[in-house]
Amino acid sequence: MGIQCTLRENELRSWGRAIQSLCLMGGNEVQLQFTDVALTLTTCDDAISTFASLSFNNTFFSSYECEATDADNLHCKIPTKCLLKPFRSLKFLTKCASECSIEFSSNSDNLNITIITKFGAKISYSLHLTSNTELLQLDFDSNSLKSNVTCDAKLILGSLSNFHEAKGDLTLKIDETKMSLRNSITDLVQKQGKVYTELSLNAVDFIEYTLQQDCQVTFPFREFKTFVVFADTMRLPVTLRFMSQSTPVVVSIIGKEGTYEGSLTLGNRSHPDLVENDSRNGNLVTSIDAGSERLNNGSVTVSTTNGSVPRVRKKRPLLFPNLGRVIPSKVIPLIILSDSEIDE
Amino acid sequence: MEQNGFLNTQERAQDNPGDYKFIGIVNHIPIIANLVKSIAFTSKVNVSVMERGIMFTVEEGKYIQASVTVLRDVFEKFTLSSTDLEINFKIPSKELLDCLKFFLSDSRSGESFSTAGATSSEVPISSLKVMYKSYGNPFMILLDENGVITDFQIKTEPFENELMEMIMEDSVVAKLILTAEPMSDLLGEFEGSNPEHIRISIYPNKEIKMSCDGVAGFMTCVIPHNSDIVQGFECLVECHATYKFQVLRHTFKAMNMSQTMSIKIDSVGVLCLTFLMPAKTDSFVEFYILPNTLEDNFPTDELEIV
């Protein structure tokens, strides 16, 4: 099974921006999943607090030939730094590149990317894949989040530019009339105290403003801003979905003519009991089955496909719980080890 | 205000112009400053003053030799004593660049810090006068900016005679002439991979191929002989050679400033890159790079013809 797809000059810039943004939002690996209808890139940070996904329909590409169906699970994982190399320079892609082709075969250890320039030169990359072949998927339905707001990305980006630094967390507080964005960072100049920044947006400025109930959610600032910057460069509206303090926040965009979709699922840090990641407060967990349930204190399980028998382990509360479940295509779960467990 | 303030001013009161073996006055300071900067990757630079102009030469680790030739036509005044065919000395690069730093720039347009943002009426009128008296005396640079004269004296050392002789004209097996800017863009993509070595292969009537093996994987760049950026392509036999990428990187500054470049490889793999600078100066920068002696650990099945 394999795939070969081609991007022309017009799509190449969007693709380059998408890759760069995805690499900024995630961790060390990017997963590429190929089906006959779409190419999906996903990445998850090490703390499993953010899960970014970009899905490009076959109509986005100038040509798209894929032998795999959805059931075939044709996918690969590649280190973020490797995937970034051909698309590192937007200036080069805009100025020199006229076409880019991506090839992958299920029996290959490499992802092949070829860029053809406007003056006839050809640059070929044969990028090594990681040995980790587990398929990562987010098992969470964003439609279950009943509150959603939609606005131009420029509106949010303009608001975020008023914040001193895109670090730490951003709190979103929303009611019927307005949405407030708020954060606090340590005063870096005097090394004491905090700088609180709060900005409000009126409900009338939004394209859509559907609220099930007033709520307050807190999520990572940097990844959120990266996604909004990407949406702004693509000139797309941004939709935020949320419901309560115990559910994730999902930020999504839909490309022009529906040729691509992007979503960023952010762990909600609003749980009052969870302030720091402290393995000494780990809870005992019992009998984890396939399709593991969310635990009462909102911690998260990550499942892999290595076939190990689930064991009882101490669990550490994660910094950003309630992300949902991240499960593989196969269902034997493991619990994240605490630091003391890892040292054993 | 006279543009060439030095032409009519008195020399230093205690000196006789006849005491100096070489006196030169030049107005194109930013371009010359950037030319010197493009090869200033070593601590010392050899200076040779000849009938045809001034040549600055550097050499690093017996792997690379670079030279900048500023032709005498660039100078407003170029006086070489009748008793000397050639004057040679060595000076530190850093001090030379410090003298010229206000005229240095990083952009292809050559806009310098001293002129950036200035309107035509605000651009300072600058002249540079260089003088050398004799062996053991400092290399003197007088900078005149709108009547304000800054005097630099750089201590000289004996000229380094052990420079490698990169004679290759008779044994050149491949010669290409290309537009420099796209070549600079292509080699910039290799920088992302940060490879240790880069292999250059030239195939007669076909293409030039550059490839490297980095941490991320294998990367290849192929330029066909009939590409828009190739102005001339001569290749007698198929040739391959591998070079240290860190050494090749020294050429990037000159490549960024140049409009046209040539690539020559001789029968033993010595690479000669020549960069022709904008027409204002008619100067050129030349690099000679020796190939790696060992071809191991490089994933290729091509035969190497020496």
Distance from C-alpha of A197 to C-alpha of A135, rounded to nearest angstrom: 40
| B66 pLDDT higher than 90 | yes
Who among B188, B220, B224 is closest to A120 (CB)? B224
Helix (H), strand (E), coil (C) string for B258-295: CCEEEEEEECCCCEEEEEECCCCCCCEEEEEECCCCCC
Contact B226 A88 (CB under 8 A): no
Are the beta carbons of B66 and B135 closer than 8 angstroms? no
**B257 neighbors B225 (Cβ within 8 angstroms):** no
Contact A66, A56 (CB under 8 A): no
Answer whether B18's CB lies under 8 Å from B39's CB. Answer: no
Q: Pick the residue with more confidence: A59 or A195? A: A59
Chain A and chain B share a number of CB contacts under 8 A equal to 66
Which member of B186, B188, B218 has the closest CB to residue A121? Answer: B186
Question: Which residues in chain A touch residue B220, judged by CB atoms under 8 angstroms apart?
Answer: 123-124
Q: Which residues of B touch A128 (CB under 8 A)?
A: 216-217
Q: Do B189 and A110 touch (CB under 8 A)?
A: no
Chain mean pLDDT for chain A: 77
Q: Answer yes or no: do A122 and B188 touch at CB < 8 A.
A: no
ipTM for the predicted complex: 0.80
Distance between CA atoms of A127 and B208, rounded to whole angstroms? 22
pLDDT band at B174 (very low <50, low <70, confident <90, very high): very high
pLDDT at B55 over 70: yes
**Chain A environment of B222 (Cβ under 8 Å):** 121-124
User: Which tokens belong to A265?
Assistant: 């699922």
- Which among A81, A123, A126 has the least Cβ separation from residue B221? A123
Please answer whether residues A155 and B251 qualify as being in contact, where contact means their C-beta atoms are separated by less than 8 angstroms.
Answer: no
State how far the alpha carbon of A268 is from the alpha carbons of A142, A217, B284, in Å: 14, 6, 61
For B216, the closest of A81, A117, A118 (CB atoms) is A81
* Contact present, B31 and B2 (Cβ < 8 Å): no
Could you say which of B186, B189, B217 has the minimum Cβ distance to residue A82?
B217
- Does B229 touch chain A if contact means CB atoms closer than 8 Å? yes
pLDDT at residue B176 in the model: 95
Q: Is B135 on the interface with A (CB under 8 A)?
A: no
Calculate how close chain A gets to B214, using CA atoms only, in Å: 10
Suggest the residue from B198, B207, B218 to mutate for an interface test with chain A (most A CBs closer than 10 A).
Answer: B218
Residues of chain B found within 8 Å of residue A81, distances taken between Cβ atoms: 216
pLDDT higher than 90, residue B166: no
Pairing of strands A2-8, A97-105: antiparallel
pLDDT of residue A244: 85
| pLDDT tier for residue A137 given thresholds of 50, 70 and 90 | confident
The residue of chain A with its CA nearest to that of B207 is A121
Tokens, residue A34 = 């190929």
Spatial separation of the C-alpha atoms in residues B276 and B80, rounded to whole Å = 25
B226 and A128 within 8 Å at the Cβ level: the answer is no
Q: What is the pLDDT of residue B124?
A: 55
Residue B59 has pLDDT above 70, yes or no: yes
Cα–Cα distance list, B281 to B33, B69, B115 (Å):
12, 10, 18
Assign B73 to helix, strand or coil.
helix
What's the pLDDT at A193? 73
Interface test with B, best of A78, A104, A119 (most B CBs within 10 A): A119
Alpha-carbon A63 to chain mean position? 26
CB–CB of B188 and A89 under 8 A?
A: yes
* DSSP conformational letter for B157: B
C-alpha span between A236 and B9 (Å, rounded)? 66
Q: Which pLDDT belongs to residue A184?
A: 82
User: What residues contact residue A343 under an 8 Å CB cut-off, 6+ apart?
Assistant: none
∠ CA(B69), CA(B280), CA(B229), 5° rounding? Answer: 85
List the structure tokens of A69.
């169906």
Please give the average per-residue pLDDT across B78-94, as a whole number: 84
pLDDT tier at A121, thresholds 50, 70, 90: very high
> Which of A83, A84, A118, A125 is the best substitution to test chain B (most B C-beta atoms within 10 A)?
A125
Q: Which helix (H) or strand (E) holds B208?
A: strand B207-213
Q: Does B191 touch chain A (CB under 8 A)?
A: no
Contacts of B186 in chain A (CB under 8 A): 96, 117, 121, 123
Tens of pLDDT, residues A227-268: 999 999 999 999 999 988 888 999 999 988 889 999 999 988
* Structure confidence at residue A71 (pLDDT): 66
Q: Do the Cβ atoms of A39 and A256 come closer than 8 Å?
A: no
Tokens encoding B141: 């640079």
Cβ distance B227 to A120 less than 8 Å, yes or no, reads yes
Q: How would you class A307 by CB atoms within 10 Å of its CB: exposed for 0-12, middle for 13-18, buried for 19 or more?
A: exposed
Could you tell me which residues come within 8 angstroms of residue A221 by beta carbon, excluding any fewer than 6 positions away?
A163, A166, A167, A168, A169, A170, A183
